[in-house]
A = this chain, B = another copy of it.
Amino acid sequence: MGTKTAVILAAGQGRRMGGVGPKALLRVAGREILYRTLSSLRDAGIEKFVLVVHPQYIPEFRGFLENHGFHARLIPNPAPERGNGYSLHLAREAVRGPFVLVMGDHIYGDGFVEEAVRGRGLVVDPAPRYVDRAEATGVRIEGGRVIAIGKDIPNPDAYDTGFFVLDPTIFAVTAALAQTKTSFELSEVMAQAKPPVHTVSGKLWMDVDTPADLKRARAILVSHAIKGTGDGIISRLINRRVSTRISRLLVDRVTPWQATWATFGVGLLSAGLNLLNPAAAAVLYQVSSVLDGVDGEIARASMRTSPLGAWVDSVLDRYVDLGYLLSLAAVARFPTSFWPVVALGLLGSVLVSYSTERFRGAFGEDMYRAVPLLRFLPGKRDERILLTMVLVLLGFVQELFWVLAVLTHLRVFLTLFLGCRRKTA
């Protein structure tokens, strides 16, 4: 049976942040640090939460918990100047059995908490990617245990992630320290307790001390919010580089739904603009393709993804493509004999999405995960739209529809072929 209780230390007043109150309640990329920690812990099976907080901020914490439907016991620490070791000591009455201990000002990304709760002792990272090692707390390890810990350890074996899995014997150490010292930090507790270490590596974790950290954290969370699968080459090389910058600017100001509808608006605008200026419309169509990444990035970075958002966004994308290509064909004054090619190109664009989405409906599995080879086939939306812009700007409108008509249906055929091969193998 896993650990079911977590103690979160959040008694600081955020002085280095400019006195904005507890850092745990700061929003980073649209969500409070505490929201991120509590959600991840809950997903990892933690059921009982204990928060050590400054008495002055109890109303803020209560309001936060209520708003988000979390339940937690609040333990006031009237003397935060006595150090976070003392904060831990105050939690002793609220826990029995093994418990998780987490710093309230640390951000943990996807997968970190899940791995960390399985360990015992101090969770360390030998090669942290997102923290300044000069600022971080180093750990010297021998025989799988902490033998020294602190900011001034030369060439440490690993770094303290601010995440622990402890048991109540730790309170014997804190009790002794609390009697002899006015102030003591967790690192002193650990230096005495010499707990085992548990390594979690390659996952996002960072602490937030200064406004600069906050900005960096936001950028990192947004760039981690790029969907893993299904991105075409254009998306990876061009669109995401721009869209993540936009998402960084907007993630604290705009909801995913607002981004979805704004992107849809830009797409429809590009369709309408075909009637006035096809070249400008083509550029705007590509802009809408870039913007199309923003809603998902904001949603993932701010932990607000919803199947409803993904569904609506997908259907709206189909209508943007339909609107743009149809108005492009309408102003191109093609002969009647060419319209079947236009229709094939239009339908192919939808059928590429239909065939992969219907696969997910049938198997409950992402098609690009099931058939990784598909990722390398050209014809995804980001690629089609860039190609569209380029060919329109070069004046090859008729050629564009030929290419779409052939490319998309070829892709659907290969999708069927590879899907069948994968699922009957």
Contacts and interface: CB of A to CB of B under 8 A. Distances in A.
Interface stretch (A137-145, A212-220, A334-342, A384-392): A334-342
A307 B363 contact: yes
Contacts of A406: none
Interface string A317-339: 01100100010011001111001
A353 interface: yes
A15 interface: no
B351 A318 contact: yes
Contact of A360 (B333, B336, B361): B361
Interface string A414-425: 001001100110
A362 B299 CA distance: 15
A419 B315 CA distance: 12
A355 interface: yes
For chain A, the bracket of interface size reads 35 or more
Contact of A353 (B326, B334, B354, B420): B354
A354 B423 contact: no
Interface in A291-330: 307-308, 310-312, 314-315, 318-319, 322, 326, 329-330
A423 B310 CA distance: 12
B351 A326 contact: no
A236 interface: no
Contacts of A64: none
A364 B350 CA distance: 21
Nearest to A345: B343
The 5 closest A-B pairs by CB, nearest first: A360-B361, A307-B362, A339-B339, A311-B362, A361-B361
7 contacts: A307-B423, A308-B424, A315-B351, A318-B354, A346-B347, A347-B347, A360-B360
Given A312-B416, A322-B347, 16 more contacts: A307-B363, A311-B359, A311-B362, A312-B419, A318-B351, A318-B354, A326-B344, A330-B340, A343-B346, A346-B347, A350-B350, A353-B354, A353-B358, A354-B357, A360-B360, A361-B361
Interface of A: 307-308, 310-312, 314-315, 318-319, 322, 326, 329-330, 333-336, 339-340, 342-344, 346-347, 350-351, 353-355, 357-364, 412, 416, 419-420, 423-424
